[in-house]
Structure 1
Amino acid sequence: MTELDHAVALLREGELVAIPTETVYGLAADAANPAAVAKIFALKGRPSDHPLIVHIAGTAQLDDWATNIPADARRLADAFWPGPLTLILKRQPHVPDAVTGGQDTVGLRAPAHPLAHALLEQFGGGLAAPSANRFGHVSPTTAQHVRDEFGDACPLVLDGGASPVGVESTIVSLVDDTPKLLRPGGVPREAIEAVLGRKLEHHQSNKTAKIRASGLLDSHYAPRTPLILGPLPSLLDEAARRLAAGERVLLLHRSAIGTPTSGIAHQQLAPDAAHFARELYALLRRHDRQHDVLLMEAPPQSPEWLAVNDRLKRAATTRLD
């Protein structure tokens, strides 16, 4: 039996399998099996009303899970699937409440990672698969991250290498006449708007979006070590103050700092958004609990940094002016 065969057998038995995707690793269960889906919530410590994204092999399965599908949804699926785009649509009646959080909508995406795609093709159904980490913690982008998070509690971790995108999928709601960006991610906002021929409303919380979706909580994607964002001069002052108080400080920066203040441990970060996103979660995991505080230079506010800024806003404990 191949590892892929083993994964399919476990999923059909109602067990969990951690799977690689191009965004982050997911903790997968048969989306049509409420008892299996319940194991995701139990292992992650995830609130039961927090909906999950159903992963499918491609556009041919859209109608299995969603109904009243608008033309815009099919256009976006044709343009970006397989890929890091999740569509929120009206659910089919048979979709379990455990997947939707009791809402009348369902999130669907077709991942581009070849191993995830092969698994979905062989499994034949949909897989509910939130990120394979404890709820609210930094998402995993390697198989080892998942093993570090869950140990033997996850029956199987499929190793597909490091996730090439590094942040979660873009989530777009198409349940009414106004398309809404709920979570920026691997597909740029501008690319989606180009396909739709109109602007997306951007909602950054469950309250304004009036729908619960992954990644809309104020605190999410967070390391256990406090993370402080801000401009580099403010961070250098903060680092000096904390060093004087005897704290272990790590400064993470994109800009050149010349000769650093004596005693400040520091690391230069990737200058471009795509490279930065690919390394972000691995970076936070590597340094978590190795220092008393992490100080990170805030990225630019330009469009290509939208997804990274969204994640850092939710991961940070404090933001300096």
Structure 2
Amino acid sequence: MATHGKGILIYFEAIMMETKIYQQKDIPEAAQALRAGKLVAFPTETVYGLGAVINNEASVHQVYAAKGRPSDNPLIVHVASPEMVWQYAKPNDLAVELMTKFWPGPLTIILPLQPGKLLSAVTGGLETAAFRMPNNAATLALIEETGIPIVGPSANTSGKPSPTLAEHVYHDLNGKITGILDDGPTKVGLESTVVDLSIKPAAILRPGYLTAADLTPILGEVETEMHHVAANEVPKAPGMKYKHYAPNAQVLIVQPDQDFSAVVAETLQHYPKKFGVLAFDQQLAKLPQAERLDTYSLGTDVSTGGHQLFAGLRDYDLQPEIKLILAAGVPETGLGIAYMNRLKKAAGGKFFTTGMDLQADL
């Protein structure tokens, strides 16, 4: 478990208490807890985040400890207005245009910092930081009430599927954090798009709900080739270096050009245990009824699939007898790029191939 300095003492005190569920009427109480150096999870339109005020080093270190997150994985700074950003970042005209068009919303912007304005615990020691203004009224009110931006990685155990419900956060972090601001299910379900404006041309470091096509009218040329982060390199954005989104079971991706029904039939024939199927409605409708087959709907298209993906992976984590999940892949265009980015990480890059030895490979 990664932790640092005096933050560990506060952290281990925190794990002795029951995590409180805050409602919107409790926002002043939640803000007071944040100002006091406590951890409070909060909703966004994408996933739930784990909040700590950015000016309290012990609190920021508690975030890493509660998640079991590597300390060189930088944190996204969540703000309630664009004006908050310029207290820390250097002026940037392109960023202003992006904020005007897409904020509040699922877009994170990496910017060069004014010297000495943010703790290295927030930035991972970099001279840049990632900023986002989430499209969630409860969280914007929480940040405003707190009076200072808050860090906000996904509120889950590091490496596990991101939380799209307060219940998911409670499952992972109960007893490790002070509270969770509950605002129901998130609306997008995939984390924000991360665009790096500290380099030219700008680069998308993490695909998300907003695509390159959405950003190019403002940015012009934008680099979309994902950078491979070396072992000794500090990533500029979450999700670039370490294992993410993985359930306890092994996920195998079924390519969109494969016959999904045939894949399930082959699995039923050669895999003797109960297994999960994460697929779209039109695929599920063609599957046989079988006692060893557990299905979870991704809805009708890639948009609903992106919304349901993490919830489906987490659902199978609640069924420890399931060690294998077949998951539907989609073409890697538009929103499908972000969907497949998360699914490949959840699967460890593994795909279903006809004739594979399922038991040996798992």
Same fold (TM over 0.5): yes
Amino acid at match of 1:319: F
Amino acid at match of 2:301: D
Query: In the alignment, which residue of structure 1 is the partner of 2:111?
Result: 89
Shift of 1:235: 7.5
Inter-partner Cα distance in structure 1 for 2:324 and 2:337: 24
Question: Helix, strand or coil: the match of 1:73?
Answer: helix
Identity %: 34
Query: In the alignment, which residue of structure 2 is the partner of 1:316?
Result: 347
Query: In the alignment, which residue of structure 1 is the partner of 2:96?
Result: 74
The 1:130/1:210 distance shift into structure 2, 3 A limit, reads: closer
- The answer to whether 1:216 aligns with 2:248 is no
The 1:148/1:243 distance shift into structure 2, 3 A limit, reads: farther
Shift of 1:261: 7.3
Amino acid at match of 2:99: A
Instruction: Answer whether contact 2:201 2:221 (CA < 8 A) is retained.
Output: no
User: Which piece of structure 1 moves more, 26-35 or 302-311?
Assistant: 302-311
Q: Give the alignment partner of residue 280 of structure 1, picking from 292, 303, 309.
A: 309
Inter-partner Cα distance in structure 2 for 1:11 and 1:148: 21
Taking structure 2 as the reference length, what is the TM-score of the superposition? 0.82
Please list the CA deviations of residues 19-40 of structure 1 after superposition, one character each: whole Å capped at 9, or x if unmatched: 0111100010001111110110
Shift of 1:250: 1.6
User: Which piece of structure 1 moves more, 187-196 or 220-229?
Assistant: 187-196
Query: In the alignment, which residue of structure 2 is the partner of 1:258?
Result: 286
Q: Give the alignment partner of residue 330 of structure 2, picking from 293, 299, 302.
A: 299
Please list the CA deviations of residues 121-152 of structure 1 after superposition, one character each: whole Å capped at 9, or x if unmatched: 11121101100001111110111111111112
Q: Give the alignment partner of residue 156 of structure 1, picking from 179, 193, 196.
A: 179
Query: In the alignment, which residue of structure 1 is the partner of 2:273?
Result: 247
The 1:268/1:62 distance shift into structure 2, 3 A limit, reads: closer
Query: In the alignment, which residue of structure 1 is the partner of 2:9?
Result: none
Please list the CA deviations of residues 91-143 of structure 1 after superposition, one character each: whole Å capped at 9, or x if unmatched: 22220000001111100011110001111111121101100001111110111
Shift of 1:313: 1.1
Shift of 1:302: 2.2
The 1:282/1:259 distance shift into structure 2, 3 A limit, reads: closer
Amino acid at match of 1:75: E
Please list the CA deviations of residues 128-187 of structure 1 after superposition, one character each: whole Å capped at 9, or x if unmatched: 110000111111011111111111221111101101011101000011221000001122
User: Which piece of structure 1 moves more, 188-197 or 10-19?
Assistant: 188-197
Shift of 1:271: 2.5
Please list the CA deviations of residues 240-270 of structure 1 after superposition, one character each: whole Å capped at 9, or x if unmatched: 3465442211222234363527555134432
Structure 2 residue ranges without an equivalent (≥5): 1-23, 354-362
Inter-partner Cα distance in structure 2 for 1:269 and 1:50: 30
- The answer to whether 1:28 aligns with 2:48 is no
Amino acid at match of 2:247: P
User: Displaced runs of 4+ in structure 1, greater than 6 A?
Assistant: none
The 1:205/1:113 distance shift into structure 2, 3 A limit, reads: farther
The 1:202/1:142 distance shift into structure 2, 3 A limit, reads: same
Taking structure 1 as the reference length, what is the TM-score of the superposition? 0.92
Shift of 1:188: 2.2
Shift of 1:306: 1.3
Question: Helix, strand or coil: the match of 1:64?
Answer: coil
Question: Helix, strand or coil: the match of 2:131?
Answer: strand
The 1:252/1:73 distance shift into structure 2, 3 A limit, reads: same
Inter-partner Cα distance in structure 2 for 1:245 and 1:177: 50
Inter-partner Cα distance in structure 2 for 1:144 and 1:164: 15
Instruction: Answer whether contact 1:45 1:134 (CA < 8 A) is retained.
Output: yes
Number of residue pairs the alignment of both structures matches? 320
Query: In the alignment, which residue of structure 1 is the partner of 2:216?
Result: 193
The 1:7/1:200 distance shift into structure 2, 3 A limit, reads: same
Instruction: Answer whether contact 2:278 2:312 (CA < 8 A) is retained.
Output: no
Inter-partner Cα distance in structure 2 for 1:158 and 1:245: 42
Inter-partner Cα distance in structure 2 for 1:312 and 1:218: 14
